Chains A and B, each alone.
Chain A
Amino acid sequence: MNRNRMQYIIGALLLLALVLPYVAYPIFLMKILCFALFSSAFNLLLGYTGLLSFGHAAFLGTGGYICGYVIRNLGYPPELGILAGVSCSMVLGLVMGGLAIRRQGIYFAMITMALGQLAYFFFLEAPFTGGEDGMQGIPRGRLLGLIDLQSDITMYYVVLFVTVASVLFIARVTTSPFGKVLFAIKENEPRAISLGYKVDRFKLLAFVLSGALAGLAGSLQALMLGFESLSDPHWTTSGLVILITLVGGVGTLIGPIVGGVIIVVLEQKVGDIGTWLYHLTSIEWFNTLGESVSIVTGLIFVICVMSFRKGIIGELQDRWKSP
């Protein structure tokens, strides 16, 4: 019963995703997809392994900048750009994860945050990124020499395909024996160790996988937008991905996707909502809401942590389980 209803939701989401670009602005939809993928990658770590990374923005930035550099400066086709972005994110994941798993729990979060900041400084100073101006004019080109990505609609379906494939991949990983070991580490690490699992290797592999997928999201985003900027590797993006996952449901497959839709739409529309509230109440202050979105995201953060820790999908699953 429960399983069926979830499948209906997934089916409905997919159907919606297929027709939406004819109704809504494709670039905006692709932005949502990229963040859904980014959050799903992050969730592989937090939801299925129990590791809170506060530096995941570094992967989004690495994917974006490397992909952009390879396509724009070196003149390679998009698929190689994406491949390069993903590979570099993997290497970064190996380094960051290798360092961070040397400490547990709360320290893990702090270390990833500090390393993420280091990556940010790198992108700020490195000559190829364009610093504060960002990296402009990344051409979309032709995918595999066959598919012309100039049209937003085509680009959208490519992004959709990659996102769905990646989410299916994550589903496969989490239900595999490897995924079960990750879950065991999350539930009870000392027991997993005493059962003979080399916990650090599993954690590191999960970190690398998550980093690679986050890098994929960054590469796709840079490709479809045609530019990459410093807001991607910034720590606020690391916070955003946590929020998306929390709102949707930590440790659920489609939670991060639902969360991505809600938060990205909200971020975009907060200004309008503020203006609307101003007209409703004529309190001048609401007009500033668009400039300081962080009030709204902060508020949702606090509400989620205080009384909505399972997220939307988590709550739904609970409700459907009990008659």
Chain B
Amino acid sequence: MDIFNLSMQAVLGQLLLGLVNGSFYAMLSLGLAVIFGLLRVVNFAHGAVFMMGSMLAWIGLTQLDLSYWIMIIVAPLLTGLVGIAIEKGLLKRLYGLDPLYGLLLTFGVTLLLEGFFRSFYGVSGMSYNVPDSLQGAVDLGFMILPYYRGWVVLASLTVCFGTWFLIEKTKIGALLRAGTENPKLVQAFGVNFPLLVTLTYGFGVALAAFAGVLAAPIIQISPLMGSNLIITIFAIVVIGGMGSIMGSILTGLSLGLLEAFVKVIYPEASSTVVFFVMVLVLLLRPAGLFGKEA
């Protein structure tokens, strides 16, 4: 079966790539939504911490000889700690002010992080080899599935739905949701709310770094890789709205797939299709697909 003179195999390969990208989108917009829910801060630095995850994985492998499997744990932890420091040292003092200041601060942090890594590693792309245990591919009959891509999709979906479960179905999630609705009341019940906020930010940031490590063997690693991504993520967040966890996951995945699909039928538009969808959503349903506020 052929679509536009392309073999089914190639199309499915593209869609798999779309699913891979979509799972990065999902993880990042999920983190943004979780952070925004509790802190009312749009974390511009999300792209930069994604980059930090990749860079740390690369530094770990090339300079310290630490394997992928070690760095996939260590990099998110380290980045999460940096996140906690940012929240405790800087963001904390901006609560109660116009939320725009949070965006501006994290924008400044982005420039700092980018400039920092740039001053050591320049701007040229670096590559990271797929770990030995995930080399190769399996022929599924209708398409060829490289093990690594399968692992990325599996790992990110697990993390996404794990987060969803954590927030929607557990006690700590109930606290978080309550904090989103009314922080003062939650505090009155004896919950250490500031700690909850700090940990939430750290968690959201670690999630982005985890995505960064997952992405390291697939994309070109460079200090600037995060900033173009964050703008796409913003468009995705505008499309989906930041009110719903499941909404963020589904929007992220479907836009990744859509991007891949457009790449097959009209490659020129694949980098801009997300923005056009955003325009369309703004015209037809300004509140966003899963949004509540007008």
Residue ranges of A at the interface with B (Cβ–Cβ < 8 Å) = 52, 99, 102-107, 109-111, 113-115, 117-118, 121, 125, 235, 239, 242, 246, 285, 288-289, 291-302, 304-306, 309
> B118: which A residues are within 8 A, CB to CB?
291-292, 294-295
Q: In the complex, are the beta carbons of B235 and A114 less than 8 A apart?
A: yes
Known: A102-B282, A106-B42, A298-B109. A118 touches B116 (CB 8 A): no
Closest 10 CB pairs of A and B: A301-B108, A298-B111, A295-B115, A298-B112, A294-B115, A114-B235, A102-B286, A292-B115, A302-B108, A110-B234
B116 contacts A235, CB within 8 Å? no
Q: Tell me which residues across on chain B come within 8 A of A299, comparing CB atoms.
A: 108, 112
Contacts of B237 in A (CB 8 A): 110
* Assembled-state Cα–Cα distance A252/B181 (Å): 36
CA distance A110 to B283 in the complex (A): 16
A43 CB to nearest chain B CB (Å): 14
Binds A, one of B99-107, B128-136, B255-263: B99-107
Cα distance, A41 to B294, chains bound together (Å): 28
Contact partners of A298 in chain B: CB under 8 A:
108-115
B275 touches A294 (CB 8 A): no
Q: Does B231 contact A (CB under 8 A)?
A: yes
Contacts of B235 in A (CB 8 A): 110, 114, 117
Contact partner, B268, options A99, A106, A125, A301, Cβ 8 Å? A125
A-chain residues with CB within 8 Å of residue B99 when the two chains form the complex: 105-106
Across-interface contacts of B116 in A (CB, < 8 A): 292, 295
Residue of A nearest to B286 (CB): A102
B255-280: which residues lie under 8 A (CB-CB) from chain A? 268, 271-272, 275-276, 278-279
- 27 A-B pairs with CB atoms under 8 Å apart are A99-B283, A103-B282, A109-B42, A110-B237, A111-B282, A113-B231, A114-B231, A114-B234, A114-B238, A114-B275, A115-B279, A117-B235, A121-B271, A235-B231, A239-B107, A242-B104, A246-B104, A285-B119, A288-B119, A291-B119, A297-B111, A298-B110, A299-B108, A301-B108, A305-B108, A306-B93, A306-B105
A105/B100 in contact, CB under 8 A: yes
CB pair B275–A117 under 8 Å, yes or no, is yes
B120 / chain A contacts, CB cutoff of 8 Å? 288
Between A114, A121, A291, A297, the greatest number of chain B beta carbons within 10 A of the residue's beta carbon is seen for A114
Which residues of chain B are near A309, meaning CB under 8 Å? 101
Complex interface: chain B residues within 8 A of A297 (CB): 108, 111, 115
- Output the residue of B120, B122, B275 with the most chain A CB within 10 A: B275
Q: Tell me the bound Cα distance from A99 to B283 in angstroms.
A: 7
Q: Would A99 and B100 be within 8 Å (CB), given that A285-B119, A293-B115, A294-B115 are in contact?
A: no
Nearest-neighbor residue (CB-CB) of A293 within chain B: B115
A107 x B238 contact (CB < 8 A)? yes
Asked whether B10 is an interface residue with its Cβ less than 8 Å from the other chain, the reply is no
A117 to B276, CA, bound (A): 11
